[in-house]
Amino acid sequence: MRKDIEIHINTGDIVINPHNTPKLRTFNWITNNGGLERYIYGEIQLPGNISEATIKENGVYISIPYTPKYKEFYVRIKRIFSDETSSFIQNPVDGSDWFLARSGLCGGDMKNIYASQLLLISENVFYIRLNKGYANIYSGNESDVNIVPAKRQNANLMLKCLPTNNYRYPLTGVGLIRWVNSNIHYTELSAVLQREFGDDGMNVKNAAFDLESKDLQLELEHYNND
Amino acid sequence: MAQHIVKPNQNIFDVALELYGSVEGLFDLLISNESLTMNTDLKTGTRLEYHDYFVINDGIVKSIKENNYIPANGERHVYFKKPNYDLFAVCGIDNKIVSSSIIIGGQGNVQIDWGDNSDLETIALSNQPQEITHYFDSIVDTRRLKFYGDCTFTTFDASNLNGDMFLTRPLIVDEYISKSNGYSLKGLFLFEGTVILNLQGMVISELEPISDMSLQELNLLNVRFTDVSVLDNYLQYIATNYGNRRNCVVLLNTTPTEKGMQAIQTIINEPSWNDAGKWKFIINGDIYTKE
């Protein structure tokens, strides 16, 4: 039995507070005199006894406070040894010490990120992983619940729901069971599918019903905000 | 015929339960209010008529009244609220705060995700400032308001926003008002074109976010600085990093120290900075300006 998923006693929502407690490394914005004006530069400091291979393999957790600068940024990783000497991890692509920061905001592709946008990823803890000459930035918080779009689940709910079942919208629902246990009039079913999903912001692009297996294949497209 | 004022987060079933003691009372509600349907989205403050003598379950009605219960289940959204514009600000609100309000005017559209179960609210801006008030319809652990938009503001009054505002991209705001609160000014670093700043009655620990603004009017009346050096450093920054800023009227109750007063003297006595118009510092009613 799972014990790590909890429901908040007051809010009734699933608790998605982070459960990990990573070791946060020192991060500072620094002045890079040889750098370009359009970027700002940050430095992560690590003890020298952490090997380069480990950093590349496992990434680094850092905390960056809100930075009100609408500029893309580079980071470098400095390893400080016990004799106070230091070395930087080298970018394998251009041979410099610097890695351009990128992130996939809102589930999108990896793109250069602006410092002021960091709070869209996380409010405090970040996880940085070096990849192909870039520093990819992710939220450093991990919880047991993975939040992903639940369109398939919603579609199933809509199909199963019979009108009168839904407390707030009593007339909503395809009520597929009504159709499965009767002779299906495809035109009528398709009209109901279009109407019900359309009202919920989904466009039914294609639907196919398998009479043998009683499976309904739906191809849906999200078209508005609701 | 009696009247019921819809409370925050109540749907028609909640109202029926509160008034009649049963959801079956819904039919009386529908009969008594011609415009009401099963799909009406009830708004807080809407007046509904009902027959007060028609009670279906007296025990429940009494129990709700005696215990001060408010049936308020609202509605939850199935699909993700997808905004039409880019995000420009995030605001952290204490989870005990029940409402938030802003007064905004400008051009373009703003879309607000209030961080509860309500729809995204789209506001078409006009030069006439409008007050937008929202009562939160959910209980949460942490509440974050998100502002999306393709807009510029002539006025942005965040006095009753009830939270820290952090900008994610530059934003044109002509006049910014934030009165009587102690929230961070950090987001103001990304303001552009701001000419009037009214921070009356605030508790301020830093003025760096506004240091480079070319203001026409800065109202710092009744401000409590965590240390007077905050004000001194701001004045000294202007004197040493003047740049292309315009002359400004500064209203103050707090008297700067000698260091700050020296900076004021430098500003008001530099001829080129007072050519187009004079700098004016009004401190406790005393006016400091170029003779």
B39 touches chain A (CB under 8 A): yes
Output the CA–CA distances (angstroms, integers) from residue B153 to A183, B6, B110, B187, B265, in the order listed: 59, 33, 10, 15, 34
Share of chain A above pLDDT 70, in %: 82
The verdict on B141 touching A (C-beta cutoff 8 Å) is yes
Query: What residues in A contact B170, CB-CB < 8 Å?
Result: 70
Say if CB B195 and CB B215 are below 8 A apart.
yes
Structural contact between residues A163 and A195, judged by C-beta atoms closer than 8 angstroms: no
| Helical H segments across B158-278, by residue range | 228-240, 258-269
Confidence of residue A188 (pLDDT cuts 50, 70, 90): confident
Is the pLDDT at A5 greater than 70? The verdict is no
Please say if the pLDDT value at position B77 is more than 60: no
Measure the CA–CA gap between B167 and B53, rounded to whole angstroms.
54
d(CA B75, CA B10): 9
Helical (H) or strand (E) element with B206? none
Which helix (H) or strand (E) is A31 found in, with range?
A: none
Q: Across chain B, what does the average pLDDT equal?
A: 88
So what's the pLDDT on residue B262? Answer: 86
- Alpha-helix runs per DSSP H in A124-171: 151-160
Question: Side chain identity at A136, as an amino acid letter?
Answer: N
Q: How confident is the model at residue A226 (pLDDT cuts 50, 70, 90)?
A: very low
B residues 222-281 near A, CB within 8 Å? none
**Residues of A with Cβ-Cβ distance to B168 under 8 angstroms:** 70, 114, 116-117, 119-120
- According to DSSP, the residues that pair with A216 across neighbouring strands are A209
Residue A225: band (very low, low, confident or very high) from pLDDT cuts 50, 70, 90: very low
Is pLDDT at A224 greater than 50 in this prediction?
no
Number of neighbouring beta carbons within 10 Å of residue B136:
21
Residues of chain B in contact with residue A66, where contact means CB-CB under 8 angstroms, are: 166, 186
Q: 3-class DSSP state for residue B60?
A: helix
Q: Measure CA A135 to chain center.
A: 17
> pLDDT tier at B234 (50, 70, 90 boundaries)?
very high
Rounded distance, CA A226 to CA B77, Å? 8
DSSP code for B123: E
Q: What is the DSSP string of B4-65?
A: EEPPTT--HHHHHHHHHSSGGGHHHHHHH-TT--TT----TT-EEEE-TT--S-HHHHHHHH
User: Tens digit of pLDDT for each residue in A52-66?
Assistant: 899 988 899 999 999
Residue A145 binned pLDDT confidence (cut-offs 50, 70, 90): low
Cβ contact A68–B190 (<8 Å) = yes
